[in-house]
């Protein structure tokens, strides 16, 4: 018999308690790089609606995590990614699309100053509802958790979203919706476990 | 010499969840309350997962990949066995991943991290910060210089010690490739005892995270070398693919 010569993805290991040393060293007081990557998603005036997305990661007992790292990735307000592999057009040059947060030192709350994302298509051409991709790592998480931040004020788009339509238990859908707290301010709490467990993706 | 490069567009091969660690691994106690219990929602990757931000070599400082010097006072250097860690970042199709952001962090030679929540009694090294970063070259290769980290005890069981290890964070060309892992060292007797390393499911997976001494890259009278390749998820190859290689 022949062998398929594919390599296997490197096994994941927890980010551990000191992920902030490696990924946000300035936050821990180690100033080698002159600033932490992903702190600001805007490099100048941006197009579209500027919003704040904040939230907290909770464990199965309801305790906030203060040793997590949260990253988000999203298109600009027109639905274009500031990425070398974006082929549909050129994204807002003042928008990076990528944010990284160690959370607040005391409360663990993460905050991203960003723009409301535009819609991007599903592989079959249907439009997805505006969303932000999020990734959570921390001590005790063996492999990074992917989820999406959708918006509660996008009812019509959410109802037509091909990913949200795949959720078997539709009563869990609210775990993927950012709540509007004030004009331009959304809250997206992440529950790793428990009755409000966030829907995580295998994508 | 040109190297086959990883494609930067297209859907990703699904992650092999029989190979990757489960979320709930009770011997690693912290996972018990931090592990989702519902099934993950599967769907084909979309542009949201197939794209990623751009990290340019221009953002790197000259000492970013030299942990022996990057936190040291002028004229001084970190204490401990000097080592070079090198290897390639590849995709599952065996092609090098150029331009990948590789970030790494570790304890000092005594097993102590520079962190305010760190409680181990081993001494801090005033010349060692414990983090570095680099970006892979056109063939996916990377290297950095550091000191051999010490094993250390941690609160899990009453007497659990971590094998010597270096943490890695990898950023390829798609957000779905995002990966954090740890590198271990050949011959470390703590490897089979570690509740965190035991979250992987096979000896082959342990081996995939174990770097080998590489005498060919060792710098005589200066530094030993260890080779550590890492593999990110690959993209599906489409039948009658008409994209040019590397696009």
In a domain, A38, yes or no: yes
Any CB–CB contact under 8 A between B184 and chain A?
Answer: no
Any CB–CB contact under 8 A between B232 and chain A?
Answer: yes
Please tell me the distance from the alpha carbon of residue A1 to that of residue A22, in angstroms, as a whole number.
44
- Domain of A141, CATH number, reads 2.60.130.10
In a domain, B24, yes or no: no
Considering the candidates B113, B142, B148, B184, report the single residue annotated as catalytic.
B113
Range of the domain at A127: 19-191
Query: What proportion of chain A, given as a percentage, has pLDDT over 90?
Result: 99
Please tell me the distance from the alpha carbon of residue A179 to that of residue A187, in angstroms, as a whole number.
5
- Number of domains present in the structure of chain A: 1
In a domain, B238, yes or no: no
In a domain, A151, yes or no: yes
- Number of domains present in the structure of chain B: 1
pLDDT digits (tens, 9 = 90+) for A118-157: 999 999 999 999 999 999 999 999 999 999 999 999 999 9
Residues in CB range of B1: below 8 A, 6 or more apart: none
Complete DSSP assignment for A91-110: --TTB--EEEE---TTT--E
Q: Is A4 exposed, middle or buried (0-12, 13-18, 19+ CB in 10 A)?
A: exposed
pLDDT at B239: 59
In a domain, A134, yes or no: yes
In a domain, B6, yes or no: no
pLDDT digits (tens, 9 = 90+) for A18-75: 999 999 999 999 999 999 999 999 999 999 999 999 999 999 999 999 999 999 999 9
Backbone angles phi, psi at A28, to 5 degrees: -95, 5
In a domain, A54, yes or no: yes
pLDDT at B247: 41
Smallest CA–CA separation between A34 and chain B, in Å? 9
User: Which residues 59-98 in chain B show a CB within 8 A of chain A?
Assistant: 61, 63-64, 70-71, 90-94
Smallest CA–CA separation between B217 and chain A, in Å? 23
B86 given a catalytic annotation: no
In a domain, A184, yes or no: yes
Any CB–CB contact under 8 A between B22 and chain A?
Answer: yes
In a domain, A67, yes or no: yes
pLDDT at B244: 47
In a domain, A2, yes or no: no
Task: Please say whether the beta carbons of B209 and B47 come within 8 A.
Answer: no
Structure ipTM: 0.97
Q: How many helices (H) and strands (E) does chain B have?
A: 2, 12
Of A35-39, A94-98, A104-108, B243-247, the least confident: B243-247
Residues in CB range of A144: below 8 A, 6 or more apart: A12, A15, A135, A136, A137, B178, B179, B180
Residue pointed to by tokens 């002028």: B74
B165 given a catalytic annotation: yes
Range of the domain at B110: 58-232
Q: What is the token pair recorded at A18?
A: 């000191």
B239 given a catalytic annotation: no
As a whole number of Å, the CA-based R_g of chain B is 19
In a domain, A199, yes or no: no
Q: What is the Cα A107 distance to its own chain's centre?
A: 19
Q: Which residues of A touch B34 (CB under 8 A)?
A: 59-60, 65, 138-141, 192-193
Low-confidence ranges of chain B (pLDDT < 50): 1, 241, 243-247
Say which of B32, B52, B208 has its CB closest to residue A10. B208
In a domain, B223, yes or no: yes
* DSSP 8-state secondary structure symbol assigned to residue B45: -
In a domain, B45, yes or no: no
Any CB–CB contact under 8 A between A81 and chain B?
Answer: yes
Any CB–CB contact under 8 A between A10 and chain B?
Answer: yes
- Domain of B190, CATH number, reads 2.60.130.10
């Amino acid at each position: 018999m022949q062998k398929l010569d594919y390599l296997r993805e490197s096994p994941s290991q927890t980010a551990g308690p000191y992920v902030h040393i490696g990924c946000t060293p300035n936050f821990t007081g180690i100033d080698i790089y002159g600033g932490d990557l992903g702190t600001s998603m805007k490099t100048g005036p941006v197009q579209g609606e500027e919003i704040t997305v904040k939230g907290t990661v909770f464990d199965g007992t309801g305790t906030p995590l203060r040793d997590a790292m949260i990253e988000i990735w999203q298109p600009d307000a027109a639905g274009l990614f500031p990425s070398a592999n974006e082929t549909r057009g050129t994204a807002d040059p003042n928008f990076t699309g990528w944010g990284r947060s160690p959370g607040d030192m005391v409360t663990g709350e993460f905050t991203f100053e960003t723009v409301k994302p535009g819609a991007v298509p599903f592989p079959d051409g249907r439009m997805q509802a505006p969303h932000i991709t999020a990734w959570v790592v921390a001590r005790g998480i063996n492999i990074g958790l992917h989820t999406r931040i959708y918006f509660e004020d996008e009812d019509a788009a959410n109802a037509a979203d091909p990913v949200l339509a795949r959720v078997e238990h539709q009563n869990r859908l609210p775990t993927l919706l950012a709540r509007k707290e004030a004009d331009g301010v959304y809250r997206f709490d992440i529950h790793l476990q428990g009755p409000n467990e966030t829907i995580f993706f295998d994508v | 010499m040109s190297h086959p490069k990883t494609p930067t567009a297209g859907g990703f091969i699904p992650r092999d969840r029989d190979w990757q660690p489960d979320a709930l691994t009770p011997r690693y106690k912290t996972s018990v309350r931090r592990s989702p219990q519902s099934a993950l929602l599967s769907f084909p990757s979309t542009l949201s997962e197939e794209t990623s931000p751009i990290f340019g070599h221009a953002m790197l400082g000259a000492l970013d990949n030299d942990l022996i010097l990057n936190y040291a006072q002028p004229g001084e250097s970190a204490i401990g066995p000097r080592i070079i860690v090198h290897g390639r970042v590849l995709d599952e199709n065996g092609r090098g991943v150029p331009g990948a952001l590789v970030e790494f962090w570790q304890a000092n030679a005594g097993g102590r991290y520079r962190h305010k929540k760190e409680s181990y009694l081993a001494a801090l090294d005033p010349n060692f910060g414990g983090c570095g970063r680099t970006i892979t070259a056109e063939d996916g290769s990377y290297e950095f210089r550091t000191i051999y980290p010490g094993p250390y005890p941690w609160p899990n069981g009453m007497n659990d010690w971590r094998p010597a290890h270096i943490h890695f964070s990898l950023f390829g060309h798609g957000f779905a490739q995002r990966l954090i892992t740890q590198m271990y060292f050949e011959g470390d007797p703590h490897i089979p005892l570690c509740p965190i390393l035991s979250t992987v499911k096979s000896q082959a997976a342990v081996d995939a995270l174990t770097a080998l001494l590489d005498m060919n890259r060792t710098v005589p009278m200066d530094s030993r070398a260890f080779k550590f390749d890492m593999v990110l998820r690959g993209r599906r190859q489409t039948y009658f693919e008409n994209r040019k290689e590397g696009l």
